[in-house]
Amino acid sequence: MSPLIPLGFALALLGLWLGYRLVTESRSRTAARAAYFDAVKPLFQDGETRLQPTGFPRMTGRRDGLAFDLQAIPDTLTFRKLPALWVLVTLPEPLPLHASLDLMARPSGNEPFTRFASLPQSLPTPPDLPKEVAVRSDDASRIPPPDLIARHADLFDDQRVKELVLSPKGLRIVILAEEADRSRYLIFREAEMGMTPLAAARLEPLLDRLHQLRKDVLALTETP
């Protein structure tokens, strides 16, 4: 028997095994991404999810009578140090505001989830906020009073909080939910993220913060 026959057979088996691994890992990855918001569904009434082209879900639901919207946005742009997974927590309930105010921690100008860089007016960072937080608006003369922002400045004590937006259309907090594993990314250029669902304990304080911030904004317009 030619020694090439066992070698060819072994290579064929190896190819079949590698193909099987690729298929199973792909299926596992797809299922994990689709289930990324499953652990936070109990925080909402009537929570609904729909898959986005990225494979991650977008979720809407009601909590304490208010509508919330969750989005998971992967950011794999090559100029980032590591690929990132951002979670946008939005309270899209209209507010009696007349301008947008956007607070961004360590802005690069390339964030894929925001229009921060397009807002025309750059404002000084309030003393209550960390110096790395930049502030922009579309009308600085009509933004909320400084004491409102001061009451919520501690939000940025969490280094994974990236952005806070106040606008007539509602409120939003953006967090860095996950970064790709450094060693696997640097060696294999593998940027797998979202294999572990977002924890309810991570999300719930953000929902409560948005709820309280909404109350504070509405209080500004209440008649004495």
Q: What is the pLDDT of residues 126-170, one digit of tens each?
A: 999 999 999 999 999 999 999 999 999 999 999 999 999 999 999
Mean pLDDT value of segment 50-73? 94
Confidence of residue 203 (pLDDT cuts 50, 70, 90): very high
The pTM is what? 0.82
Q: Please report the pLDDT score of residue 190 as a whole number.
A: 52
Q: Please report the pLDDT score of residue 17 as a whole number.
A: 46
Mean pLDDT value of segment 182-208? 75
Mean pLDDT score of the chain: 84
Whether pLDDT at 222 is above 80: no
Confidence of residue 193 (pLDDT cuts 50, 70, 90): confident
Taking the C-alpha atoms of residue 89 and residue 175, their distance in angstroms, rounded to an integer, is 8
Helices and strands per DSSP (H, E), number in the chain: 4, 9
* Residue carrying structure tokens 């911030």: 213
| Structural tokens at position 147 | 């004491």
Q: Which spans in the chain are helix H?
A: 4-34, 146-151, 182-188, 200-220
Decide: 175 and 86 in contact? Cβ < 8 Å.
yes
**Residue 144: how many CB atoms within 10 A of its CB?**
17
C-alpha closest to that of 169 among 106, 91, 115, 77: 91
Decide: 88 and 70 in contact? Cβ < 8 Å.
yes
Taking the C-alpha atoms of residue 142 and residue 14, their distance in angstroms, rounded to an integer, is 66
The two beta strands, 121-123 and 84-91, are unpaired
Q: Please report the pLDDT score of residue 6 as a whole number.
A: 63
Q: Please report the pLDDT score of residue 33 as a whole number.
A: 80
Which phi and psi angles does 99 have, rounded to 5°? Answer: -160, 160
Q: Please report the pLDDT score of residue 27 as a whole number.
A: 52
Mean pLDDT value of segment 61-72? 96
Of 12-21, 115-124, 135-144, 145-154, minimum mean pLDDT range: 12-21
